[in-house]
Amino acid sequence: MNRLGEWIGWALHYFFGLVVGAGGGFWLISDNRAHRSAGTNAFADETTMPFVIGAALFFAGVGALLGDRLWMGDNYRMIAPEEPSHTPLTKVASIISIALGACFIGYALYRHVTL
């Protein structure tokens, strides 16, 4: 596969991981019983946005790094999914995104515990 194709594939997996991670992160944080029982908005908490951003960055990096294996798993019928080919830059960008996402999630959890 040529370099442009690798970047397009990486960007598509990254974007899909970003959307899934943001949605999942918001679902996790808004499904908190403390928000529902207090009757407050999930966005009123100052740890919501760092958690959602962290989840989005984390899952975007994982999605871009693993490619189709993350979304389809090992449940293939006839043709195994092709392993994603990475340039050194796309692999490093995915790992940096995972690390940044973990830092944002860690910050949000730390602020939630210390508040």
Tell me whether residue 56 is in a domain.
Answer: yes
Tell me whether residue 53 is in a domain.
Answer: yes
Say if residues 21 and 58 touch (Cβ distance below 8 Å). yes
Question: Would you say the pTM of this structure is higher than 0.85?
Answer: no
Tell me whether residue 79 is in a domain.
Answer: no
Q: How confident is the model at residue 5 (pLDDT cuts 50, 70, 90)?
A: confident
CA distances from 30 to 39, 62, 84 (A): 11, 23, 34
Tell me whether residue 25 is in a domain.
Answer: yes
Tell me whether residue 78 is in a domain.
Answer: no
Helices (H), the chain: 3-30, 33-38, 48-66, 68-72, 88-114
Q: Which two tokens stand for residue 36?
A: 């529902």
Q: pLDDT tens for residues 31-82?
A: 665 555 555 555 557 888 899 999 999 999 998 888 777 766 666 666 665 6
Angle of the 48-66 helix axis to the 88-114 helix axis, nearest 10: 150
Q: How confident is the model at residue 111 (pLDDT cuts 50, 70, 90)?
A: confident
pLDDT given for residue 34 in this prediction? 57
Question: In the chain, how many domains are there?
Answer: 1
Q: Which two tokens stand for residue 11?
A: 């960007």
Domain containing 68: what range? 3-33+42-73+84-114
For the chain, give the mean pLDDT: 80
Tell me whether residue 55 is in a domain.
Answer: yes
